Amino acid sequence: MNPQLLGAAANPALPADLVERLISLADPEIAEELACRPDLSRAQALVLGDRVPECAPLLARLGHLAAADIDPVARPDAALALLEEGRGGPEFARVLVRSAMVEHRARLAECPGLPGDVVDVLTSDADERVVAELALWATAEVTARLAEHPHTMVRRAVACNEATSPAILAALVTGEGFPPLEECERCAEAHYDAGAVRYAALLNPSTPVEAVVPQVNHDEVWPGWGLTARTDLPSETYELLAGHPVPGIRDAVAKNPAISDGLLRRLAEDEVDFVRRSVARNPRIPLDLLERLTTTTRIGSGLLPRIAAATEAETDHLARWRNPVLRMFVAERRDLPPAVRDALAADPDAKVIKSVAPHPGLDESQLRSMARRHGARVYAKVAANQAAPSSLLEELANKAAPVRKALREIARHPNATDPALRICLTDVQARVLAAGHPALAPSALADLLDHPDERVAEAAAANPALPQSLLREVVRAAQLS
């Protein structure tokens, strides 16, 4: 792999004549980069597809090749790519349904909008893997026909398909009314049996709740674990599952927005910390319970669903709470009213500042105040604010002991300057981002083309600020080698 050529192929400033030269040099990796160029012409795409046939499916998916450009017999993968995107047309499907390759017929079975005659052929395919693939994506009318298929693999796929009618799904839970399953070596290898069909039907959200509830008990791990995500179970069933000895099941119940306040409070006392953490992330948790959990459980960071849904009055109230953990979670919101945002920006607790620092409404004076008051602990979050001015980014990069996380944020910041980016090049992770930043000076980019880290060399070659003379030299050197 030539990292410079890979980068050049992705460079948005690459002129058309160099695109064509790279097409003539392309291997599969370079072809993939070229195929992703939005400015690739149809003529260029045709040449690239001829040179590197394995990139034709990608060219088709990205709209560079149309149905008229593809022979489904010569390039079935490209034809399938168009069909998968819903753009292939019925004639492609009629050709591919007769393919001798099981893989092609199985992929065809996944495609949307297949003609009825093609679906009819696929339902009677000699290979059960093709029929099973069809059963996963087919309409209710088709799955009704396939529910009596003798192979477990197919019947299980019917049970997985959410389009299957509720009546059939309910019947598949018990297995009553269907012909016996035939023994099949492939199904046995995949560990598919009557139990697999039942379990798939139980987990299908389209299966009627009255068919599901009788299958839940306190002793089995399955199907209880999978059913905990359903929001239409009776309250008694959630209560039963919340008392299960397996912590993972209790954890899954704790995440369910359909459970009652009482059950949330019960699970908030669970002995396992990750169960309590899931209670805190339940979108329906009462705020008083959330406040209590912040004092007993390490909830982590990030915006909590209940905080995200808080009303303006609740948000204002929480932002004034004496518990800094709750203020930190409020500060994660990016739609705070100005008064609340500004109050949190002046908070004395560093973890609150780290959460609010990237807020888009903050101004330069507030960002500088945060950095001055809290130091290195908040530099990375301050640098992540898209309103941070170039001068502040340079100051943060020039600290005597640079904060590595801050350098990574600066390296991707649109306001970063060449001096700041050169400092970012000293960090192993930030240097790849810095090498691709358009504010980096051409002289620095020229040096980076030969960087020992191939990711850096590739990013420099892909940088639109790289002079075209250097781009031409990169391509010319490849032609000579």
Average of pLDDT values for 456-464? Answer: 97
Average of pLDDT values for 67-89? Answer: 95
pLDDT value at residue 410:
98
55 occurs within a structural domain: no
Q: How many other C-beta atoms lie within 10 A of the C-beta of residue 177?
A: 10
Is 223's pLDDT higher than 90? no
Q: Which domain holds residue 286?
A: 225-300
Residues 144 and 205 in one domain: yes
Q: How sure is the predictor about 1, in pLDDT bands with cuts at 50, 70 and 90?
A: confident
pTM of the model: 0.88
- Give tens-digit pLDDT for 464-476: 999 999 999 999 9
Is 402's pLDDT higher than 90? no
Average of pLDDT values for 319-342? Answer: 96
Residues 144 and 210 in one domain: yes
Average pLDDT, the chain: 94
Q: How sure is the predictor about 43, in pLDDT bands with cuts at 50, 70 and 90?
A: very high
d(CA 239, CA 262): 10
356 occurs within a structural domain: no
Average of pLDDT values for 177-196? Answer: 86
Domain boundary among 278, 300, 322: 300
Residues 247 and 295 in one domain: yes
394 occurs within a structural domain: no
> What's the token pair of residue 132?
């099973």
Average of pLDDT values for 294-301? Answer: 92
Is 157's pLDDT higher than 90? yes
Q: Residue 389 class from Cβ within 10 Å (0-12 exposed, 13-18 middle, 19+ buried)?
A: middle
Domain boundary among 300, 331, 347: 300
177 occurs within a structural domain: yes
Q: How sure is the predictor about 35, in pLDDT bands with cuts at 50, 70 and 90?
A: very high
pLDDT value at residue 365:
98
Number of domains in the chain: 2
- Give tens-digit pLDDT for 2-22: 999 999 999 999 999 999 999
Residues 236 and 296 in one domain: yes
**DSSP secondary structure string, 381-412?**
HHHH-TT--HHHHHHHHTSSS--HHHHHHHHT
Residues 207 and 261 in one domain: no
Q: For the chain, how many helices (H) and strands (E)?
A: 36, 0
Residues 210 and 246 in one domain: no
List of residues 6+ apart from 322 with CB closer than 8 A: none
- Give tens-digit pLDDT for 270-288: 999 999 999 999 999 999 9
396 occurs within a structural domain: no
pLDDT value at residue 481:
64
Domain boundary among 236, 265, 300: 300
Is 341's pLDDT higher than 70? yes
For 144-148, 199-203, 389-393, which range has the lowest pLDDT when averaged over its residues?
Answer: 199-203
Q: How sure is the predictor about 191, in pLDDT bands with cuts at 50, 70 and 90?
A: confident
Is 319's pLDDT higher than 90? yes
List of residues 6+ apart from 448 with CB closer than 8 A: 425, 435, 456, 457, 459, 460
Q: How sure is the predictor about 218, in pLDDT bands with cuts at 50, 70 and 90?
A: low
116 occurs within a structural domain: no
Residues 229 and 282 in one domain: yes
pLDDT value at residue 187:
82
d(CA 423, CA 271): 48
Is 379's pLDDT higher than 90? yes
List of residues 6+ apart from 317 with CB closer than 8 A: none
pLDDT value at residue 480:
64
Is 89's pLDDT higher than 90? no
pLDDT value at residue 376:
96
347 occurs within a structural domain: no
Is 217's pLDDT higher than 90? no
Residues 200 and 174 in one domain: yes
- Give tens-digit pLDDT for 91-124: 999 999 999 999 999 999 999 999 999 999 999 9
288 occurs within a structural domain: yes
